[in-house]
Amino acid sequence: MIRGCFRAVLLAIIPAVLATAAMAQNLVEEKQSLTPYAARKIIEVCLAQAARDHYPIALAVVDPAGYLLSYQATDGATGNTGVTAQQKAKTAAIFRRSTAELYDRVNRQVNRAPEWMGYFPIPGGYPVMVQGEVVGGAGAGAAGLSGGRDEDCVKNAITSVMGDGKSAPPPSAQPLLRTTKFISMDGARKLVDACLAFADRNKFGPLGISVVDPDGTLLSFQGTRGASKTILDTAELKAVTAAHWRRNTEDLWNRVNKQVNRAPEWLHDFPQPGGFPIFIGNDIIGAIGAGGVGDQDDRCAQAAIKAVFPNANTGASGKETGGKQ
């Protein structure tokens, strides 16, 4: 009985110890983001204000990478307002500015990047800040039926729930923020360098190596001499796909081809072998993808993980790196 309890305690603390060791080497960092509860509270506050002032509205709240956390439309909101609310929230979170400011900068030709990159710099979106860090974004759409009050509505809701953005948020019945871990820039570069060294020792052909954070944002990339554009492009696509699905891309490849689940294909991801999510304990900290000839890319990516994060695993089931997943 005592031995069983000791084993349970040991298994519980191992992931924390591994994560602490990685962070001590500056390989892993932490960031905060909105909880689904906080996202819903922001929407509820704005909905109440819109109801008092009698105008239709659609509201969206996203995480720092622009992924939707909560959404609600009122009666009378048109279909396009739902789309614009989500686009405004995503644009504000990713550019870390209000979309009103981006709108002004685009129209004065100070910076038209949001427009040319396919984002939506129209007033009504705001980044959600806590102690100077972007933890999400919120957007409102009203199709001109609010007289501009939708902008004030979402801005006031953010302040009501999360505070002034410079300090910690006000007390709440449930957590407003969650902390997640991700590969640092230094950790990402070490993975790329480890893959390059493994490829050089084994005299591999041309390769592309890409490392992304858990949201699929590129952290580090390198191509070797002779790598074609296809090899370079697929390296990042594999890493992003592994991060999105939290599975190695060979597993996804098999599931797609056996028609177990073709969703990665239909959602325009890239389920081609050579991409691996990287877990420390139960936390995904990022992913690596390699493009190359035969299984060289696959072997290179796995060797890099083992060299930099020797106790990491590459699947939610907890299998450690080593052989093919």
Rounded Cα–Cα distance for residues 110 and 102 (Å): 9
pLDDT over threshold 80, residue 317: no
Rounded Cα distance, 283 and 272, in Å = 23
Residues 120-166 have pLDDT tens digits of 999 999 999 999 999 999 999 987 766 678 889 999 999 999 999 99
Distance CA 303, CA 271 (A): 20
pLDDT tens, 256-299? 999 999 999 999 999 999 999 999 999 999 999 999 988 999 99
Residue range 87-93: average pLDDT? 98
The fold of 36-175 is Beta-Lactamase (3.30.450)
Query: Same fold for the domain at 36-175 and the one at 182-308?
Result: yes
User: 3-state DSSP call for residue 222?
Assistant: strand
- Range with the poorest average pLDDT among 1-5, 29-33, 66-70: 1-5
Whole-number average pLDDT of the chain? 90
Burial of residue 72 (CB within 10 Å: 0-12, 13-18, 19+) is middle
- Three-class SS of 59-106: EEEECCCCCEEEEEECCCCCHHHHHHHHHHHHHHHHHCCCHHHHHHHH
Give the three-class secondary structure for 177.
strand
Contact 37, 136 (CB under 8 A): no
Which of these, 76, 80, 93, lies nearest to 130 by C-alpha position? 93
Q: In angstroms, rounded to a whole number, what is the distance separating the alpha carbons of residues 206 and 273?
A: 16
Cα gap 19→279, rounded to integer Å: 10
Buried b / exposed e along 118-145 (16+ C-beta atoms within 10 A): ebbbbbbbbbbbbeeebbbbbbbbbbee
Return the amino acid letter for 68.
Answer: L
Percent of the chain surpassing pLDDT 90: 82
Query: Average pLDDT in the 4-30 region?
Result: 59
Residue 23 and residue 152: Cα distance in Å, rounded?
40
pLDDT at 7 over 60: no
Tell me the pLDDT band of 89, cut-offs 50, 70 and 90. very high
Q: Is there a contact between 125 and 155 (Cβ–Cβ < 8 Å)?
A: no
Q: Are strands 208-212 and 283-291 parallel, antiparallel or unpaired?
A: antiparallel
Domain limits, the chain: 36-175, 182-308
Does CATH number 3.20.20.70 belong to domain 182-308?
no
pLDDT at res. 13: 52
Beta carbons of 161 and 148 less than 8 angstroms apart: no
Q: Is residue 14's pLDDT more than 90?
A: no
